[in-house]
């Protein structure tokens, strides 16, 4: 694995307290040592991986799960084929118990097949598990249903998420390597579609980086931070921070919570990114720079900048956007795009 310049700051949360306001105000990642050490799943894993698997089986409702599978040659890294036109893993559906059995059967393999159940909503397949394994984010006014990630020594290639994230290491150790949003150019993002997990990922192999092909990656390493999480630890990853996640044990389970800092009626900016690629990127340079100025004025400047010289009744979308106005904007955009 690559070496980065810094270690992610750590906060002692072994008393179960979660400093959510401080985390959000800082905008910086943090390892939350011991935050979930008393979870029942963590306690089961401390006895053995088999006990952890048996604990998961207690709650499984029998509905099929979707997972990624790759042969030993994948080496735990769901990624692309040689020309980036397709993925190197298959998407399969099966019984969760069978997936656990297969992970266990290959636990001692030097190079096992890859198994990765990703972003499975806990309540949808493991109802009741939250009673002994949950963060009380509702106490902080946050609605974030947990997802569970189950696999063997899987590598989640470096990517970003649009949402804030608290990821809890429940079974096995995981290495997290993080980069601030401004490092996007130095991380060499791959295609927007298809992607191994829903977001564009860095095409750099962190286990064996090709610095001749990706020379700016050295600059990213100077801005990177890393830490190894033990079972019972958690990590706060601010929205849009790039993160590379490596499972270090033959069996690993992580539970995470995503939430949006914006109001529920504000959609993902990814829609705007696709629209901008379509409508702005290929225009003449003079026009592109002019549109940059327009976006700086209306979007990236102070929120009240474009409308503060107008009467409040005349501001419409230049003022605060509430749920009603959001619905009107959505209908207007759908109408224009369907013409």
On whether both 247 and 324 belong to a single domain, the answer is no
Q: Are residues 255 and 323 in the same domain?
A: no
Note whether 186 and 220 are within 8 A (CB). Answer: yes
Whether residues 117 and 196 fall in one domain? yes
> Are residues 301 and 162 part of one domain?
no
**pLDDT tens digits, 71-81:** 999 999 999 99
Together in a domain, 253 and 281: no
Let me know whether 253 and 142 are in one domain. yes
- Per DSSP (E only), the strands in 122-224 are 147-151, 155-159, 164-171, 174-179
From CA 250, how far away is CA 255, in angstroms rounded?
17
Question: pTM value?
Answer: 0.95
- Does any domain span residue 1? no
User: Taking residues 86-114, what's their average pLDDT?
Assistant: 97
Does 68 map to a domain? yes
Residue 74's Cβ-count burial label (10 Å; 0-12, 13-18, 19+) is buried
Residue 330: domain span: 270-337
pLDDT the model gives residue 229: 98
169, 302: one domain = no
- Is it the case that residue 197 has pLDDT exceeding 90? no
Closest CA to 165 of 185, 147, 187: 147
Among residues 237, 235, 236, 239, the alpha carbon closest in space to that of 261 is found at 239
Is residue 204 classed exposed, middle or buried when 0-12, 13-18 and 19+ CB atoms within 10 A define those classes? Answer: buried
* The pLDDT of residue 339: 84
* Angle of helix 40-47 versus helix 49-59 axis, rounded to 10: 140
**Per-residue model confidence (pLDDT) at position 225:** 98
Last residue of a domain, one of 234, 259, 284: 259
The per-residue pLDDT for range 274-323, each reduced to its tens digit, is 999 999 999 999 999 999 999 999 999 998 899 999 998 899 999 999 99
Work out how many domains the chain is built from and give that number. 2
With respect to residue 302, please indicate whether it lies within any of the assigned structural domains.
yes
175 and 309 housed in the same domain: no
Last residue of a domain, one of 259, 293, 308: 259
Q: Are residues 149 and 208 in the same domain?
A: yes
């Amino acid at each position: 694995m690559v070496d980065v310049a810094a270690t992610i700051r750590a906060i002692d949360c072994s008393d179960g307290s979660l400093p959510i306001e401080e985390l959000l105000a800082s905008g910086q990642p943090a390892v939350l040592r011991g935050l979930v050490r008393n979870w029942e799943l963590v306690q089961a894993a401390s006895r053995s991986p088999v006990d952890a698997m048996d604990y998961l089986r207690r709650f499984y409702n029998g509905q099929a799960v979707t997972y990624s599978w790759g042969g030993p040659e994948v080496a735990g890294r769901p990624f692309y084929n040689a020309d980036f036109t397709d993925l190197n893993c298959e998407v399969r559906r099966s019984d969760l118990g069978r997936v656990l059995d297969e992970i266990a059967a290959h636990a001692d393999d030097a190079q096992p097949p890859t198994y990765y159940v990703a972003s499975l909503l806990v309540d949808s397949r493991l109802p009741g598990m939250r009673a002994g394994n949950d963060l009380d984010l509702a106490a902080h006014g946050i609605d974030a249903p947990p997802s569970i990630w189950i696999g063997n020594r899987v590598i989640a290639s470096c990517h970003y998420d649009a949402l804030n994230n608290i990821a809890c290491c429940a079974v096995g150790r995981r290495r997290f390597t993080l980069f601030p949003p401004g490092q996007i150019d130095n991380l060499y993002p791959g295609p927007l579609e298809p992607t191994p997990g829903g977001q564009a990922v860095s095409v750099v192999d962190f286990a064996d980086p090709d610095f001749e092909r990706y020379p700016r990656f050295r600059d990213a390493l100077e801005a990177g931070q890393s830490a190894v999480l033990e079972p019972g630890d958690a990590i706060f990853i601010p929205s849009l921070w790039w993160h590379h996640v490596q499972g270090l044990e033959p069996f690993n389970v992580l539970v995470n919570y995503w939430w949006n800092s914006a109001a529920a009626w504000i959609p993902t900016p990814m829609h705007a990114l696709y629209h901008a690629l379509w409508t702005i990127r290929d225009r003449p340079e003079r026009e592109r720079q002019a549109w940059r100025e327009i976006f700086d004025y209306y979007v990236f400047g102070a929120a009240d900048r474009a409308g503060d010289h107008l009467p409040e009744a005349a501001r419409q979308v230049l003022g605060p956007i509430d749920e009603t106005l959001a619905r009107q904007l959505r209908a207007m955009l759908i109408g224009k795009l369907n013409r």
